[in-house]
Amino acid sequence: MMFWRLALDAHLAIARSRLGHRDVAPALADAREQARRTSERYLMVRCLEASAQIALAGGDAGACRVFSDELLALAESTGLDEMAASARLARGRAFLAQKAYPAARIELSRAAARGEGL
């Protein structure tokens, strides 16, 4: 039963974050850590993607890169191309926020190339 509780908590936090609620970071962090402990990769990548988006929206490009780096590693190791493209997009946006334009260009180009193949 804990799987469903974890899934519901994670999806609720993700949905609220997409509606613009920024107060979901603690709930999302809890869901992310529970998914990590129970090796729920599908939930883990969803939580990492939302965490990266929330961090960037909150002005924390460094945290966005940390979450998107982990998302990219997990997505590439499991063949989740859509999530890998999302991770590259988040990384590119974080680099833009940090004014690291050459790195941003590389990541955004990689995200676009990955996205075209989906």
Torsional sign, CA 97, 98, 102, 107: negative
Q: Domain extents for the chain?
A: 2-116
Each residue's pLDDT tens digit, 55-84: 998 899 999 999 999 999 999 999 999 999
For the question of whether the overall pTM of this predicted structure is more than 0.85, the answer is: yes
Query: Under CATH, what is the fold of the domain 2-116?
Result: 1.25.40
**CB–CB of 48/67 below 8 Å?**
yes
Determine the pLDDT at residue 104: 98
